Structure 1
Amino acid sequence: MPLDQSELKPVRPPVTGYRVILPDDWARIPLRHGTQDAVRQILDEAFSRIPPGAPRDKVGAYKREWERMLRAAIIRAQHSDALDLYMPFRSRRDVNLGASVIVSETLLPRRRGSDAGEPTDVAVGLLSRDGAEGADLSSGELDGALAVRREHVVRADPGRGAELASRRVEYVASVPDAPRRWFVAAFSTVGGGRPDDELADALVDWFDAVMTTFRWRRE
């Protein structure tokens, strides 16, 4: 008996990545391949804005501090096995937003049988690994996939390079057609010096708006 073509569901290509729209002054640093090329481009852009005739000793100290901060942020992100790091390096107004976005992927271990738990419970479990207390949790979708959002404050930890407390917002989404794969986008800001000030509030709202532009990439 021939198949009714109208009943056949189109096979979607697998998810191979993601897309998100960020302002031009935010730079993407890939953490698996091409990291050094991205670092050099960012530093070249930053140093090109140094006024001609600036004192050499101050210029040298400025360059060293910029590079130190950038490479330290990259190392921290790479230790978490992240995919991409986004930071606002291209602002021509010389305003340091003290913010970043880290994108990573979590692969769940294989389990016997089909009982891996409800997707929402799995997402909450992934977000609860670091034991954050007083977190604000909500669920929704990212480009049609189940997602859980968590917002909380992380205390300062000078021993790990965090001189100020930070406000963090994380989105964890189930990758379509891949039950073991979970996408994570983590935003962090110190605001204007306090994680609960007006700048921090505005930046959290901004990040939520950015995540509405999120789309899966299929090839």
Structure 2
Amino acid sequence: MRAVQILVDKAYPNRDEFAVKRHELRDLLTEVTHNASQREAIEIYLATEAVMGVPIPASLMVTAEPENPSLPRQMPVSLLADGIRDRYGEGAQVSVVTLPSGEAVRGRREELSEDSLELGQDKARPNTLLEFFLPVPHSTAWLVLTFSAPLKELADAQVQMFDAIAASFRWSD
């Protein structure tokens, strides 16, 4: 929780002038870190920069799907893409993409979690999520990058940035 407070102080240093916004940001960051903990995240990155004094929220959570000893080799990315399409339904855009790290599954969808609703997020303003499922070389494990853009008006621009970040990922031997 100390890290959350540091980020809130950095985004809104004036406690009196921005008390409501500080409270909203603290609640949002607490939700994000709680979700990351529930999903056993390896890493979480939160955007703390502001444009003209207004924070532009975005996050990246890195998780891993561990090796499956019952599989003799890595599941084909096309098969995983089909499963993700089935899981998220018609509203999701799922495709197989080629990144510098190799073939991966890319999925874009909108989601409004129960935690977000409890924090008062409008049902008409879901978060935009962009996920990349990258097969870990020489194993049956997957690395999952989950990007989140909570501002609908900026989602398309942020997704372009998220795509660029995913394209910068490389495996090393």
Which TM-score applies when normalising by structure 1? 0.62
Secondary structure class of the residue paired with 1:173: strand
Amino acid at match of 2:126: A
Contact 2:8–2:26 (CA under 8 A) maintained in structure 1: yes
1:150 corresponds to which of 85, 90, 107: 107
Separation in 1 of the partners of 2:79 and 2:101? 18
Q: Which residue is equivalent to 1:133?
A: 89
- Structure 2's unaligned 5+ residue stretches are none
Q: Which residue is equivalent to 2:159?
A: 204
Q: Which residue is equivalent to 1:76?
A: 35
2:145 corresponds to which of 171, 185, 189: 185
Contact 1:171–1:186 (CA under 8 A) maintained in structure 2: yes
Q: Which residue is equivalent to 1:160?
A: 115
Secondary structure class of the residue paired with 1:209: helix
Q: Which residue is equivalent to 2:130?
A: 169
Amino acid at match of 2:69: R
How far 1:75 moved relative to its partner? 0.5
Secondary structure class of the residue paired with 1:216: coil
Contact 1:84–1:104 (CA under 8 A) maintained in structure 2: yes
- Structure 1's unaligned 5+ residue stretches are 1-35
Higher relative contact order (CA 8 A, sep 6+): 1
Q: Over residues 1-58 of structure 1, what are the superposed CA-to-partner deviations in whole Å (9 max), with x where a residue is unaligned?
A: xxxxxxxxxxxxxxxxxxxxxxxxxxxxxxxxxxx664454344335x32xxx74xx5
Q: Over residues 139-170 of structure 1, what are the superposed CA-to-partner deviations in whole Å (9 max), with x where a residue is unaligned?
A: 1333333211111222x34x322423122211
> Which protein is bigger by CA-based radius of gyration?
1
Separation in 2 of the partners of 1:153 and 1:65? 21
Q: Which residue is equivalent to 1:95?
A: 54
Give the helix-richer structure, 1 or 2. 2
CA RMSD of the aligned region, Å? 2.9
